Amino acid sequence: MMKLTNFRDLGGLVGFEGKKVKNKMILRAGEPVGLCDTDLAELRDVYKLAHIIDFRGEREIIEKPVDEIEGVNYVNIDIMASQMKKGTPSLEQIVNNLSAGASDEFMAKIYTAFVISDDAKVGYRTFIDVLLNPNGSLLFHCMAGKDRTGWGAVILLKILGVSDEDIVTDYLATIEGRKAVNAVLVEELRCKGVDEEKLIAFEELMSVKSAYLQTSFDIVNEHYGTFDSYLRDALSVTDDEIVQLRDLYLI
């Protein structure tokens, strides 16, 4: 049983023409850092991992570099580079700036940027390029495996024809996927004297809400009209590429 935080295989979801996403091909998770030998062996031998896509920023990577797995291609795509010009804030910095309701406001800005920022457009386009040349399974992640990773999953699953209902269900699986590790983080902060109001806001920030995802969908509709137009105009995804991705990942 994989112990990688917020890990899941997107295989089995029903997509275009009732076909299912192939098992052990598309994996999402939190940062693969400090994994045990069993997890590393499972990724290598069971999932035949070929690519790791890291959506984190430079500071995050320096502080917590991804575990090396022999034969696995590593690609960094900094989705939030322009939004985090001073570097992705540490958890301590985030907590210090939190107040009641602040997490929702912060996440609304982030989920808006996923759709309209140039870095996100280029980054998610690069993600698609890697998906078009898999040579094995792919694991994509950010720090928590919920926001940058979550929108990446939405893009791919929409291309594969997965229903919005199933996409949201997968997105919300993060609530359970991060429950244990978030509880540990909250307790550590409590022991450091962080007040309860900030702890509540922090716990919300480190989880997900359907409203966060809806923000991105609303921005897509506002700026592009439809998700298909967003794929075409923002990410330059062609009809031929959609057919190719469906051939690669659906069965």
Structure confidence by residue, pLDDT tens digits, 16-68 = 999 999 999 999 999 999 999 999 999 999 999 999 999 999 999 999 999 99
Structure confidence by residue, pLDDT tens digits, 154-188 = 999 999 999 999 999 999 999 999 999 999 999 99
Structure confidence by residue, pLDDT tens digits, 130-147 = 999 998 999 999 999 999
Task: Using CB atoms within 10 Å of the CB of residue 27, give its burial: 0 to 12 exposed, 13 to 18 middle, 19+ buried.
Answer: buried
φ, ψ for residue 238 (rounded to 5)? -95, 165
Read off the pLDDT band of 86 (50, 70, 90). Answer: low
Domains assigned to the chain: 8-249 (3.90.190.10)
Read off the pLDDT band of 102 (50, 70, 90). Answer: confident
Structure confidence by residue, pLDDT tens digits, 202-236 = 998 899 999 999 999 999 999 999 999 999 999 99
41, 15 Cβ separation under 8 angstroms: no
Tally: H helices and E strands in the chain? 13, 5
Q: What percent of the chain has pLDDT over 90?
A: 81
Q: pLDDT value at position 99?
A: 72
What is the C-alpha end-to-end distance of the chain, expressed in Å? 25
6, 174 Cβ separation under 8 angstroms: yes
Q: Is the pLDDT of residue 85 over 90?
A: no
Task: Using CB atoms within 10 Å of the CB of residue 168, give its burial: 0 to 12 exposed, 13 to 18 middle, 19+ buried.
Answer: middle
